[in-house]
Amino acid sequence: MKLLVGLGNPGAQYAGNRHNIGFMAIDAIASANGISTWKSKHAGLLAEGNVGGERVLLLKPQTFMNKSGDSVQQVARFYKIDNSDIIVFYDELDLAPGKVRVKVGGGNGGHNGLRSIDPQIGLDYKRVRLGIGHPGKEFVTPHVLGDFAKADKAWLDPLLDEIARQTPLLLKGDDAGFMNKLALAIAGEDDKKKPAEKPAQSHVRQARPAKPQAEVPKTGPLAEMLGKLFNKD
């Protein structure tokens, strides 16, 4: 059994926050796989189901971000889940919006959710870092606790859909394949937003037909004048 954890803050007032993208990812996985029964257990909302033929537990800690480890530790201990079978989805300031990186272990990067989890279960669990962009040091708090903008939906919705679609790869340990599929999905959305290119014009101009030269009269006053000018009889 795998334990998939999404980090966020409980309550409707936080539901659309960038800090809650972990919750959003878990909700997308649940919806795509017909997992709809949530129980309030172990200081979190817990659901059980199958993803890609594998039994999973989905967890959204309800302890607020800085105590996420309380819930994760309780679930892991009760169900006897090893760290190698725990996958945590969370927001990452140091990645551009829509970028995703998967790794096992490492530091907490200042993230309060990981800072709570690490001392309670250890470091060797899988982390799915979901980029939300960095606004600058002085704006971090309002950025992470602010809602995604309407413009963010252009990458956020397809990202969440693709996470739900490709989670079986993650469960099988194909982290590179998972990241590649997500990157392609977001790149495809970027292409859709680009204006259609105009047909390129050749840098070689077509030769313009020479203007027909005026026919020189052979008789008459003008012919006589030209004849005298060029010393012709």
Active-site amino acid positions:
19
Longest dimension (CA), the chain: 121
CB 129 within 8 A of CB 102: yes
Distance of CA 43 to the CA centre of its chain: 29
* Three state DSSP letters for the chain: CEEEEECCCCCHHHCCEHHHHHHHHHHHHHHHCCCCCCEEECCEEEEEEEECCEEEEEEEECCCHHHHHHHHHHHHHHCCCCHHHEEEEEEECCCCCCCEEEEECCCCCCCHHHHHHHHHHCCCCEEEEEECCCCCHHHHHHHHCCECCHHHHHHHHHHHHHHHHHHHHHHCCCHHHHHHHHHHHHHHHHHHHCCCCCCCCCCCCCCCCCCCCCCCCCCCHHHHHHHHHCCCC
Q: Quote the CA–CA distance of 141 and 17 in Å, as a whole number.
A: 11
CB 70 within 8 A of CB 61: yes
